[in-house]
Structure 1
């Protein structure tokens, strides 16, 4: 059993904030005797002296200063508990689980998450970064509430979110960028291709592999980009993720006769729209809005 109630701590803090018992009484609409009794109860129960009086000033003792720091934290946490309870009563979820394909631009995703967190400050967000079928596998397994994937799921609601443009690219020093002739897909097969592994366990899928004679498979898109920047191979890369590298010249589009660019449609999928709470709906709305800001190969090279 606690020796001191939250209300007694609130009165103690009011005395500190307003500079005395009389001032606290006027501000929090409690009688001066009630506030005195609350402070006396704290001092008696805990065996510490919280205030000292100098003339007309009521000042904290060293022990009182230490207790105030702890009380600030205690009252703040109590306020959070009450806010969370109100949130639950209003039907606002406390956790949002999202699986999103790694080709979705991270800087746009960060804006979405930040906006939602500002609107729902007590929301815990769990983000799973996936490749190819990985996001849908997470959704089917009940591990996330929302999936953003290049594939749809039969029987679940899916909407087209955005198209991600891919270009065939390599470093400017790569052999493929040292010739003036237009390259064919057959030309590419004799060079090392960097491929990102499907993060799904049950339904792994190869996308964009040309049956090249050499193949390096990695788990993360950023690893692939870094390898290609350093001249270790080529790949079709999502334009939004390499916009800076294209502008700086660290990556150069390959001069292909055809098929230099490809487009991948990302889909937004969830099990039951009616079961989504306010935070999930806010996430969906902001994600749709940010998806309209997607850069293309033309804007990246301009």
Structure 2
């Protein structure tokens, strides 16, 4: 009899990702004692130690890393098999996860969600926001099924289909109180280096992360999403590029000052993307809906000034 179960693998993978048994228990909706028992039993059955314990924090041993290296493929394969079985039985997925970049507003999909539920109320929807390469990472890692607004081109290697759905220009902006607001010339690297940049952290887990707009040796304030970056720049905590749809209303209201820079940020294209070969009824419905009426303009045009002003 096999000593390794998919349930145990999922627990080990979650512990490794969260860094603690307590974090894994919270994400998996289990009590910590169940997590500890499962890991201890698996270690006893395999005759190896999977984690080094450092108080509440844990780290994978060499054996644990080897287990997860192949174990993650097994988990993805099992999830794929479950999805295919359910899809064959009904044609409609039991769940569809939709991912998007953090600068896009999921609430803007309300009319699309209402229209979807009118024809497919048995399919659960889950909306996920990621940052930069994190959107593509979530798709290829099967954490989402469809991307509605992934920033920038996807990674090489294929496995997915992508279509552009919109593009965003960017504006370099600072608060009126920031020292750079008074500069009367296009800002270059020497102007920017003495001050702090506000940068959004890439949420990718498997793919390489992207770093946008930072100079070598630049002091930076790393934040989890574009909303936080926007709010901190309004408060004068640093500088950086913002989507024009967000920055323009604040500039017109006198809350931000637009500055010319020697090296402007090029426009960013956003993509609709899904894994190649998947044809569930829910995915098909959303692809048709997004192609007929792209939601990009309403997803990026959000009333941020009202939220933070």
Provide the TM-score with structure 1 as the length reference: 0.60
Q: Secondary structure at the match of 1:100?
A: strand
Deviation for aligned residue 1:265: 1.4
Deviation for aligned residue 1:294: 6.0
Whichever of the two has the greater Rg, that structure is 1
Deviation for aligned residue 1:214: 1.5
Deviation for aligned residue 1:212: 5.7
Structure 1 residues 189 and 240 mapped into 2: Cα distance closer, same or farther (>3 Å)? Answer: same
Q: Residue deviations 1:108-166, cap 9 Å, x none?
A: 44444344334433331111210111111111112221134223143221222221221
Q: Distance in 2 between matches of 1:146 and 1:107?
A: 16
Q: Distance in 1 between matches of 2:114 and 2:179?
A: 42
Whether the 8 Å contact between 2:230 and 2:242 is mirrored in structure 1 is: yes
Whether the 8 Å contact between 1:172 and 1:252 is mirrored in structure 2 is: yes
**RMSD, aligned α-carbons:** 3.0
Deviation for aligned residue 1:280: 2.0
Q: Distance in 1 between matches of 2:224 and 2:162?
A: 26
The count of aligned residue pairs is 210
Q: Give the structure 1 partner of residue 145 of structure 2.
A: 145
Structure 1 residues 172 and 164 mapped into 2: Cα distance closer, same or farther (>3 Å)? Answer: same
Q: Give the structure 1 partner of residue 136 of structure 2.
A: 136
Q: Distance in 1 between matches of 2:126 and 2:184?
A: 48
Structure 1 residues 93 and 266 mapped into 2: Cα distance closer, same or farther (>3 Å)? Answer: same
Deviation for aligned residue 1:262: 2.5
Runs of 5+ in structure 2 lacking a partner? 1-86, 305-309
Q: Distance in 1 between matches of 2:93 and 2:299?
A: 33
Whether the 8 Å contact between 2:104 and 2:299 is mirrored in structure 1 is: no
Structure 1 residues 139 and 292 mapped into 2: Cα distance closer, same or farther (>3 Å)? Answer: closer
Q: Say whether residues 1:281 and 2:279 are aligned partners.
A: no
The equivalences for 1:10-21 within 5 A come to none
Whether the 8 Å contact between 2:169 and 2:243 is mirrored in structure 1 is: yes
Q: Give the structure 2 partner of residue 113 of structure 1.
A: 113
Deviation for aligned residue 1:231: 0.6
Structure 1 residues 254 and 105 mapped into 2: Cα distance closer, same or farther (>3 Å)? Answer: farther
Runs of 5+ in structure 1 lacking a partner? 1-86
Q: Secondary structure at the match of 2:96?
A: strand
Q: Give the structure 2 partner of residue 102 of structure 1.
A: 102
Q: Secondary structure at the match of 1:293?
A: helix
